[in-house]
Structure formats: C-alpha cells, structure tokens
A and B are shown apart, each in its own frame.
Chain A
Amino acid sequence: MGFFDLNIPYETSLPSKATRMKLVIKAMELGYSGVAYNRTMRGVMSDHDRCSIPLLSFSSLLSLVPSLASSVSFHRELLGVSQNTPFRQYTRLTVCVDSPAQAQVLNSGNPILKSYDVVAVKPTNQVAFDHACEKSEVDIIAIDFSEKLPFRLKMSMVKAAVERGVYFEIIYSDLIAERRQMIPNAKLLVDWTRGKNLIFSSAASSVNEIRGPYDVANLLSMLLGLSMERAKAAISKNCRNLLTNSLRKRYFYKEAIRVEPLSSGQTFDSNNPFSMDWLMWDPISSGEGDLQLDDVPVAVKASKTMKAIDFDSIIDSTSSHGGGFLMGSKFLELTPASVEVPEKLDGDHPLTCHISEAPSQHQISGSENSQEARLPDAEAAAIHSDEIWRATSTDGKEAAILDGLENSVSLAKTEGHDSSLQHISSSLSNSQNDDSVYRKSVMPIEVSGNTDFLSQIDKCMKPQGFDAEVDTTSVVDQDVEVILEPQKDAQACTNHSGTELMEYENNSVSVEHKLSLPLSSSVIPRDASPTANYSSTEDVQMKELDQREVNRDIILLSDEDVKDDSQVASFLTFEEQSSQEQNHGKAQGNNLTSVPSSSGRTKAKLKKTTVLLPFKRLLHPIAFKKKGKRSEHRRMLA
C-alpha cells in the first residue's frame, strides 16, 4: 500500500520550480510513494499544451536534503509502506471546462491528453458537470469546493460517474487554509459516492499546506463523516486504482495490448517466452518518473516512447520486413485461418497437414514463418485435448464415485476409460512425433471412444473460426486401429508433447477462452449418454489392455476419489501442464453435472478465480465463466 498525492501544482515560472521541489521532498519525507504534477489549463487546447512537465531526479533532490533517503525510509517504516517501492512521479492535466464545445476535447483519441498520465476535468457550470460525469474520457473530476459551487451536484450524475469509474477529487488544502465553506458540498459528495470513488489530494501551493497521509485521512474522515478505512483508501488504494486504469489507457491499445519496439538484433525465442517479463510488470509505473530510493532491482518499467498501437505503421512494418514488432502476447483476435487436412490414414502413418493461414493484420509475430503457421494448430490442439481431458476425467471420477473401488465391475469400467485416456495421451504424443500438430488435435476426439462424436467435429470446428474440413469418413474407417497402435510408443513419446504444448501455452490460452462456448455445445450429446461411451471403448480396449497399465490405473484411481479432478488430469498427463491448466476449470464445470456431491467444492473454486490484469490472465488461465453456468443449467434440466 502506498500513499499518493495526485495534485502537486505545476507552473512554468521559475520560482515555482523550487517550490515544487520542496513539495516533492516534503511529500517523500511524509511517506507518500507517488505524486502527480498538475497542470491546469483553461480555454482552447492547442499543441502548446502537450505535456512538458520535467520530472525531477532523485539526485537533485538529494543534493538539497542529504538526509532524505533515511528520512523517507523512517517514515515509510512507520506507515508500513514497502521500502523498495520507488517514488513515482506522474503528470496530470486539469482542463477547466465551461462549455459543451470545450468538453468535446476530452475524448479518448486526443493526442494531447495522451501525453499526460492522468487527465482531470474541472467543470465550471452545470452543463459541463453533467457532461463530465456522463461522457468525458477523464480519470478525475476535480470540483473546487473552496468557492460557492457554480452547479448543483446531482445524485444521478454522481452515480453515473462512479459507474464509469471516474474519481472525484477533494482537495484538503482548502480545509487547512481555513476555507470551511467546502464542507457541506464535499460531505454531500461523500454521502453520494459512499466514499467509493474519491481521492484526496493536497493541491498545496506551499509546503505548509501538505500533510502526512494519516493526518489527511483522519482530518477528512472527521470532517466529512467518512469511515477511517474509506478515508485511507481515498489516499492510497483509490489513487492506485486510478493510476492503474489511466496508465493502462495510455500505454495499452484497447487497454489490453502493449506494443514495444524490438531491437533488430533480438529474435523471438520460444524457449524464453516474452511474456515472462510480464510477471514483473508494474501496473503503476510511469516509466522515467520512478525514483528509486536505493539500489534495488526495479520492476519492468514502461518506456516513455511507447505509445498505444497505431495499426497502420504496424501493418506496414510487417509487410515489409516481417518482424520488428512483437505483440505483447499475441492474443489478439485471430482471423479465421482456414485449415485443410487431407486425411490419408494408414495406421499411424504421418499425416500431411496443410495450413493456409489468411494473413491476419492483427497477428504480428516477430518470429519466422513456421512459428506463425503452427500457432493456430497449437491452439486447436490445446482445445481438443482439453476437451478430452474434461470428458475422460469426469467419466473416471463418475464411475469411481458411483460404484466404489471395491466393485470390480466398475473398476473394469474405469480402467477401460483410463486406459483410453492413456491411448489418447499416447496418440497425442505419437502424432507429435509425426510432427503433425493438427492430427494431434483431431485424433483424440475419436479415440475417446465415441464415433458419433465425429459427426460433430464439423459443428464444433466451424464456430471456432478455423473452418476445418475434416475427412470424416476416412477417420471413422480406421477408428479402432488408431486407438490401439499408438499405445506402443506411449511412454516413450509423452515428453515431447508436454514440452511442445508448454511452449504454446501462452498463445493458446486466450483463444481457448473465446472458443470454449461452441465447443461445449458439441459435447452435450456425449455427456447425455455416458454409458454408450463406456461400452464402445470398453469393448475394444479391455481385450488389448496391458496388465501393467491396469495396475497403475487402479492405484491411481484409489487416489482419485479423494482428490479433485484437476489431479486426475495431472497424473494422466503430468507432462501436459498447459492443457491441464486450461482443462481445470472445464472439468469442474462438467463435474457439476456428474457429481453433485462435490459441487460445493467446485463452486467455491469457481468463485476463487479472480479477474486478473490482461497479461497475468495469460499466465494463470481461468475458465470461461459461462461454462460453469451452462453446465449448472444442464444439471437443472437433468
């Protein structure tokens, strides 16, 4: 938790620079971990208003106050702020608006606003206030409570602003400077926002008007009837959230994708995923504004040169030299890539796989061609294997719970299924050997024992946007053979598939999110007749079953009914961490239908999944939410 003061006045005149430095020093000393330099603007916006606020360097501050670092650490310790967090500087523009025409300037495309970290609006009449609350693309609505308000605060407007995530600013230096008429109006605002979207800031014109974070929280909670908790949030958490949002708006395209120029010598290394950097991503870093107080390794900083994507330049650059830009995680909307698979199957003969991918303007990969071509395949593979894990793991679990472990019949049944799982994994790995990723994705579907299911491949492929044309008949013909033959190489080859999938994990996740809905529709009939599935696989596989594997399955099965299904998936496919992770949520969703007794647990787990920031989501994939709902609905129908 850090404390922020998002209003340190900035004026261009020379003496104000000394004041600003003193203010910053004092803010640092008082334990704040960030300030924003506020430039107030009136009238028509021009290019002259582009951000030109010079950020201060730590050494210049240190030359004024040699004991600054120790003083800062002393106060931070008292406030419970981490010593490692840098002191952050942001730039802020406050636009005074008194006509609707001026308010039009505050849109998301305005390049001048983009040059500032935070944008605030100061409405000076009713129309401007209403517009600011309802439409303006700003982070803060600054209301000058020190004078008589030129407009009426309206509850509907305040609510609209809160819903849009705009914050209201209350300036406390008015209170200290004995301008008490602010209290009634500010209190009204506090009541209506319930302290939610409020920030407190100093707007101190001299050092004497700035106060420590806890003093501010107490003062305003006392005078405005806010709880201490909310008041504290208003100078710490709310400010942080505001900064996260505004910086995301500024540096990310559509608040989700960040583009960084890649140096020409650097190539994309699939073993060292680019996204690993995002683990260290600092959401409130403004780049050069961070003042590191001591020599602690810094989190990844945003660079100032970086801008939100303008697509024209990227398209140009990719068409010319194919590289140079690297998408933050390549999870942009994939244009429908048409995948054609001429099936020519004899046993486990390698499949030839032709992928003609429509050159997507969104998908820009810095790597070579093959990388690009294999990307959708990996996604498809992940999706399909994913689905099978979902189906089989629940089957196994169902059987185990229904009949208990002592029942030999049910054991045989579950063995049958689990061994079919083995086949799946083996076929997965086998096809991996054949270097045909697409086959990997298609094969498991039929292998899982349900030939009827094949007819639905088309159904489920079409809405995915892959537009696959699978030669269904030929696949059906060699159905049984394919199941059995890859089994031989099962143990030998599993490693490959695991590592391979890991590489593509990041790529496939987001697509998986998008596509899971159509997939589930195709699964429904299969779930509806689980016994049919059992018999079909059982018949074939019981004969061929390797005794060793049976034993292994039994042992693992005994674990199965105590552990949750994610572990089931993990023992079967411990190499395939990635698909298992994606599967996790889905298996839960399915579990709700088959095992009502454990639904409480799975529900709790579903709740636990939090919505992460765009890039963290890639690293910790979570299930598509509608999945759970859907299966719940199905359970209700059953």
Chain B
Amino acid sequence: MHMLFEHKPFRWSIMVAFKNRYMVMEVFLDPNRDIKGDDSIIITPFNLMKAIKDSILPNFGECFLASSLGSLQVKYVNPITKICIIRVSKENHQKVWSAITMVRKIGNCPAFFNLLDLSGSIRACRVAALKCDEKKFEHYKLMAGDRLSTDDSQRMQNYLEKIKLLEN
C-alpha cells in the first residue's frame, strides 16, 4: 500500500520526443479542364493552408483542428511544379492526410492533392522532395514545350535551393 503513495522522482526517460511527419504532395489544379492550358490560380502556402483547414473543420471538427494546428504547416510550395511540403504532428497525420485527401478546391479552383512521399524527418523529406521536384519539372518542360522561358528555369533553381535550406 505504501508503494502507491511513494514519491517517485520525475524521469526524463518517460518523455518521448515530439515527432513530425513531412508529406510531399503534389497538387492537381483544375483537373477537369482541357489538359493543355494555363493555371487559373497560383498556389501559395496561404491558400493551401486555408484549403486544408477548410477541409479539417467540417470533417473532423474544431477540436481536432485546434489540436493539429500546433504543428500543421505548409513548409514549401513550388507553383511551377505544384509540389508542396506539409508538416504535421505524428499523432495527427493520418487524420490530416485524410482531410487533405478530401480537399476538393483551393480558393475557387477545383483541385486535389496526391501524396508523393511521407517521411519522418526533414532530411529524408528534402531528398524526396528534391527528386520529385526535379522530375516534375521535366514534365513541366515537356508540357510547356517552346513556351518555356529561361526565367522559369531560373525560378526553378531558386525553388530547389529553397528545399535544400529547409529546417524542421
């Protein structure tokens, strides 16, 4: 009986490090339109974040939204290749991922997300994102054909540099 009331010293080993999940996703904007054509909107971290929140709220409620907001963040967006990196806490990632899957529009533009990579550390995520970004840029070049300007390549280089500098 005395064991129950015995004072136990606080132990650090009980604590578990807070863990994130990093999702590399691609965005398909306005998939119903004729396939060759310009995008109607430009994706930014803000409109992506808004779309995700708007999906979480009706699907999983305010409480879940509030609890997930602590770690939920759009880390990186590339409007050329439509690749983005979303960080979310490990406990919530499945629900947030489901909510992202149920996103149907960004702003007023029909859109959906597709997961490309899911990793547990920013380092692994950087590698995957770089690879995906480069591949997607190849497709972009193929699609754009001669409309591709040198400006685009320069911008692309900047974005790739951005991925390399990502922290946490």
Residues of A within 8 A of B (CB): 19, 22, 25-26, 30, 64-67, 70-71, 74, 78, 175-178, 206-208, 210-212, 214-216, 218-219, 221-223
Q: Is B98 a contact partner of A176 (Cβ separation < 8 A)?
A: no
Query: Which residues of B sit under 8 angstroms from A64, Cβ to Cβ?
Result: 35
Contact among A22, A70, A175, A177 with B35 in the assembled complex (CB-CB below 8 Å): A22
Expressed in whole angstroms, the Cα–Cα distance for A68 and B142 within the complex equals: 10
Query: Which residues of A sit under 8 angstroms from B160, Cβ to Cβ?
Result: none
Expressed in whole angstroms, the Cα–Cα distance for A65 and B139 within the complex equals: 10
Q: Is A30 a contact partner of B114 (Cβ separation < 8 A)?
A: yes
Contact among B32, B112, B143 with A211 in the assembled complex (CB-CB below 8 Å): B112
Query: Which residues of B sit under 8 angstroms from A210, Cβ to Cβ?
Result: 112
Q: Is the interface of A mostly helix, strand, loop or mixed?
A: helix
Is B164 located at the chain interface by the 8 A CB criterion? Answer: no
Expressed in whole angstroms, the Cα–Cα distance for A208 and B105 within the complex equals: 9
Query: Which residues of B sit under 8 angstroms from A66, Cβ to Cβ?
Result: 142-143, 145
A71/B139 contact (C-beta < 8 A), A64-B35, A208-B31, A218-B101 known = yes
Contact among B104, B115, B136 with A208 in the assembled complex (CB-CB below 8 Å): B104
Q: Is A219 a contact partner of B31 (Cβ separation < 8 A)?
A: no
Query: Which residues of A sit under 8 angstroms from B110, Cβ to Cβ?
Result: 208
For B110, the closest partner residue in chain A by CB is: A208
Q: Is B143 a contact partner of A176 (Cβ separation < 8 A)?
A: no
Is B54 located at the chain interface by the 8 A CB criterion? Answer: no
Is B138 located at the chain interface by the 8 A CB criterion? Answer: yes
Query: Which residues of A sit under 8 angstroms from B139, Cβ to Cβ?
Result: 67, 70-71, 74
Expressed in whole angstroms, the Cα–Cα distance for A201 and B74 within the complex equals: 30
Query: Which residues of B sit under 8 angstroms from A71, Cβ to Cβ?
Result: 139
Contact among A25, A67, A206 with B143 in the assembled complex (CB-CB below 8 Å): A67
A222/B98 contact (C-beta < 8 A), A64-B35, A71-B139, A208-B31 known = yes
| B89 → A minimal CB distance (Å) | 16
Q: Is A222 a contact partner of B32 (Cβ separation < 8 A)?
A: no
12 inter-chain pairs at a CB distance below 8 angstroms, sorted by A residue, are: A26-B28, A66-B145, A67-B138, A74-B135, A208-B31, A208-B32, A211-B101, A218-B98, A219-B97, A219-B102, A221-B94, A222-B97
A215/B97 contact (C-beta < 8 A), A30-B114, A74-B135, A208-B110 known = yes
Pairs of residues from A and B, 9 with the lowest C-beta to C-beta distance, nearest first: A67-B142, A207-B31, A212-B114, A67-B139, A222-B98, A215-B101, A219-B101, A208-B110, A74-B135
Query: Which residues of B sit under 8 angstroms from A208, Cβ to Cβ?
Result: 31-32, 104, 110-112
Query: Which residues of A sit under 8 angstroms from B97, Cβ to Cβ?
Result: 215, 218-219, 222
Q: Is A219 a contact partner of B142 (Cβ separation < 8 A)?
A: no
Chain B 92-104 interface mask (CB, 8 Å, partner A; 1/0) = 0011011001101
Query: Which residues of B sit under 8 angstroms from A223, Cβ to Cβ?
Result: 98
Query: Which residues of A sit under 8 angstroms from B32, Cβ to Cβ?
Result: 19, 22, 206-208
Expressed in whole angstroms, the Cα–Cα distance for A64 and B32 within the complex equals: 13
Expressed in whole angstroms, the Cα–Cα distance for A211 and B132 within the complex equals: 18
| B159 → A minimal CB distance (Å) | 18
| A18 → B minimal CB distance (Å) | 9
| A197 → B minimal CB distance (Å) | 24
Q: Is B102 a contact partner of A22 (Cβ separation < 8 A)?
A: no
Is B113 located at the chain interface by the 8 A CB criterion? Answer: yes
Expressed in whole angstroms, the Cα–Cα distance for A71 and B138 within the complex equals: 9
Query: Which residues of B sit under 8 angstroms from A67, Cβ to Cβ?
Result: 138-139, 142-143
For A180, the closest partner residue in chain B by CB is: B59
Query: Which residues of B sit under 8 angstroms from A207, Cβ to Cβ?
Result: 28, 31-32
Q: Is A22 a contact partner of B114 (Cβ separation < 8 A)?
A: no
Expressed in whole angstroms, the Cα–Cα distance for A551 and B58 within the complex equals: 86
Is B116 located at the chain interface by the 8 A CB criterion? Answer: yes
Q: Is B104 a contact partner of A176 (Cβ separation < 8 A)?
A: yes
Expressed in whole angstroms, the Cα–Cα distance for A22 and B58 within the complex equals: 29
Taking each of B94, B95, B104, B112, which has the highest tally of chain A beta carbons within 10 Å of its own beta carbon?
Answer: B112
Expressed in whole angstroms, the Cα–Cα distance for A218 and B110 within the complex equals: 21
Query: Which residues of B sit under 8 angstroms from A26, Cβ to Cβ?
Result: 28, 31
For B24, the closest partner residue in chain A by CB is: A78
Chain B 125-140 interface mask (CB, 8 Å, partner A; 1/0) = 0000000100110110
Query: Which residues of A sit under 8 angstroms from B101, Cβ to Cβ?
Result: 176, 211, 215-216, 218-219
Expressed in whole angstroms, the Cα–Cα distance for A548 and B139 within the complex equals: 73
Expressed in whole angstroms, the Cα–Cα distance for A22 and B36 within the complex equals: 12
For B141, the closest partner residue in chain A by CB is: A67
| B142 → A minimal CB distance (Å) | 4
| B43 → A minimal CB distance (Å) | 16
Taking each of A30, A78, A206, which has the highest tally of chain B beta carbons within 10 Å of its own beta carbon?
Answer: A78
Query: Which residues of A sit under 8 angstroms from B132, Cβ to Cβ?
Result: 74, 78
Q: Is A175 a contact partner of B102 (Cβ separation < 8 A)?
A: yes
Other than the known A66-B145, A215-B114, A219-B102, what 16 A-B pairs have Cβ atoms closer than 8 Å?
A22-B32, A26-B28, A65-B143, A67-B139, A67-B142, A70-B138, A78-B132, A176-B101, A206-B32, A208-B32, A208-B112, A211-B101, A218-B97, A219-B101, A221-B94, A223-B98
Q: Is B113 a contact partner of A215 (Cβ separation < 8 A)?
A: yes
Expressed in whole angstroms, the Cα–Cα distance for A2 and B136 within the complex equals: 22
A214/B115 contact (C-beta < 8 A), A26-B31, A65-B35 known = yes
Expressed in whole angstroms, the Cα–Cα distance for A176 and B113 within the complex equals: 12
Expressed in whole angstroms, the Cα–Cα distance for A65 and B143 within the complex equals: 8
| B40 → A minimal CB distance (Å) | 14
Query: Which residues of B sit under 8 angstroms from A218, Cβ to Cβ?
Result: 94, 97-98, 101, 115
Expressed in whole angstroms, the Cα–Cα distance for A78 and B23 within the complex equals: 13
Q: Within B34-50, which residues are at the interface with A (CB < 8 Å)? A: 35
For A207, the closest partner residue in chain B by CB is: B31
Expressed in whole angstroms, the Cα–Cα distance for A212 and B136 within the complex equals: 16
Q: Is A22 a contact partner of B31 (Cβ separation < 8 A)?
A: yes
| B64 → A minimal CB distance (Å) | 12
Q: Within B50-104, which residues are at the interface with A (CB < 8 Å)? A: 58, 94-95, 97-98, 101-102, 104
Query: Which residues of B sit under 8 angstroms from A19, Cβ to Cβ?
Result: 32
A70/B142 contact (C-beta < 8 A), A208-B104, A211-B112, A215-B97 known = yes
| B140 → A minimal CB distance (Å) | 8
Expressed in whole angstroms, the Cα–Cα distance for A64 and B33 within the complex equals: 12
Expressed in whole angstroms, the Cα–Cα distance for A215 and B101 within the complex equals: 6
